[in-house]
Amino acid sequence: MIEANQVYLEYRDGTKALNNVNLQINKGEIVYIIGPSGSGKTSLLKLFMGIEQPTSGKLTVLGKEISKEHKKNIREIRRRIGPVFQEFKLIPGRTAIDNVILGMRVLGMPRLQLNKNALEALEKVGLSHKAFSKVDNLSWGERQRVAIARAVARKPSLILADEPTGNLDVNNALRIMELLRSFKDEDTTVIITTHATHLIENLNEGILLKVNKGTIEQESMGRRL
Ligand SMILES: Nc1ncnc2c1ncn2[C@@H]1O[C@H](COP(=O)(O)OP(=O)(O)OP(=O)(O)O)[C@@H](O)[C@H]1O
């Protein structure tokens, strides 16, 4: 699913964001990425999405290499990824269902199928009753659930969520974490970055990636953080 061998990422201004990353993440895993602000969590997700490419080393996502030389791979990989962003990136003035449908446009499905998948996805996140409400009128937790519906409606092989609970109170945050976890299955890997270690400290399943100043330690969950 994801394999990184001696991966480095240096931004154009010379910032060394990731240093010698070595990882192996299999299909159907749940992965939490934790670490202090500025340690490299988002940079790692950007690599997985192909938004950035390694400065050196080899990175394979969904069986395809991510590199400056293989831009075509990146387009293919993106179609199989469902991204969830901290700031939701929903389109204001549009309904929940429109936002979910817009997220699936790149897949080139017929309109009826788009509607069906979008409604199914909204149902999975418990928001069918808000399908035709404008996202501007939804609470923060509901908006995050629309963003999750948009990510899962395309039936992705990999869900990447960057600080999905950033703006939420503890109860809503726990619900969002549980919801994201529920999409993990044998074909779908879920990767979540979070500052909030208290949301995951009692979990005993999954992989923990501890990021510190651009280096990463990989361990199994089930021990205290
Ligand atoms: N486009 C960029 N150009 C230059 N430096 C960058 C860029 N994006 C991030 N950085 C730097 O790379 C380092 C890692 O940033 P990153 O956003 O990956 O951290 P993070 O762990 O996600 O932080 P946070 O928890 O605050 O979101 C930081 O020093 C940051 O300033």
* Mean pLDDT value across the chain: 91
Sign of CA pseudo-dihedral 140, 192, 159, 182: negative
User: Does the beta carbon of 171 sit less than 6 angstroms from any atom of ligand 1?
Assistant: no
Distance 125 CA to ligand 1 centre (A): 30
189: pLDDT confidence band, cut at 50, 70 and 90?
very high
Q: How far is the C-alpha of 46 from the C-alpha of 49, rounded, in Å?
A: 5
Please tell me the residue having the least CA distance from ligand 1 atom 27.
Answer: 37
Please tell me the residue having the least CA distance from ligand 1 atom 28.
Answer: 38
User: Does the beta carbon of 38 sit less than 6 angstroms from any atom of ligand 1?
Assistant: yes
**Averaged over 151-171, what is the pLDDT?**
90
User: Does the beta carbon of 37 sit less than 6 angstroms from any atom of ligand 1?
Assistant: yes
Please tell me the residue having the least CA distance from ligand 1 atom 30.
Answer: 38
Distance 41 CA to ligand 1 centre (A): 8
Distance 40 CA to ligand 1 centre (A): 6
User: Does the beta carbon of 13 sit less than 6 angstroms from any atom of ligand 1?
Assistant: yes
Q: Write out the DSSP string of 121-149.
A: HHHHTT-GGGTTSBGGGS-HHHHHHHHHH
Residues 6 or more apart whose CB falls under 8 angstroms from that of 9 comprise 16, 17, 18, 40, 43, 47, 52, 54, 55, 214
40-96 pLDDT, tens digit per residue, is 999 999 999 999 999 999 999 999 999 888 888 898 899 899 999 888 889 999 999
Distance 3 CA to ligand 1 centre (A): 22
Residue 138 has pLDDT above 60, yes or no: yes
Q: What is the pLDDT of residue 222?
A: 59
103-116 pLDDT, tens digit per residue, is 887 677 788 889 99
224: pLDDT confidence band, cut at 50, 70 and 90?
very low
Are 209 and 31 in contact by the 8 Å Cβ rule? The answer is yes
Residue 225 has pLDDT above 50, yes or no: no
65-74 pLDDT, tens digit per residue, is 998 888 888 9
Q: Which of 98-107, 145-154, 209-218 has the lowest mean pLDDT?
A: 98-107
Distance 130 CA to ligand 1 centre (A): 35
15-46 pLDDT, tens digit per residue, is 999 999 999 999 999 999 999 999 999 999 99
Distance 96 CA to ligand 1 centre (A): 30
User: Does the beta carbon of 214 sit less than 6 angstroms from any atom of ligand 1?
Assistant: no
Q: What is the pLDDT of residue 128?
A: 95
174-186 pLDDT, tens digit per residue, is 988 999 999 998 8
Distance 214 CA to ligand 1 centre (A): 10
Q: Per the structure, how many domains does the chain have?
A: 1
DSSP 39: S
Q: How far is the C-alpha of 206 from the C-alpha of 220, rounded, in Å?
A: 6
Q: How far is the C-alpha of 208 from the C-alpha of 138, rounded, in Å?
A: 32
User: Does the beta carbon of 130 sit less than 6 angstroms from any atom of ligand 1?
Assistant: no
212: pLDDT confidence band, cut at 50, 70 and 90?
very high
Print the domain residue range for 183. 2-221
Q: What is the CATH number of the domain that holds 126?
A: 3.40.50.300
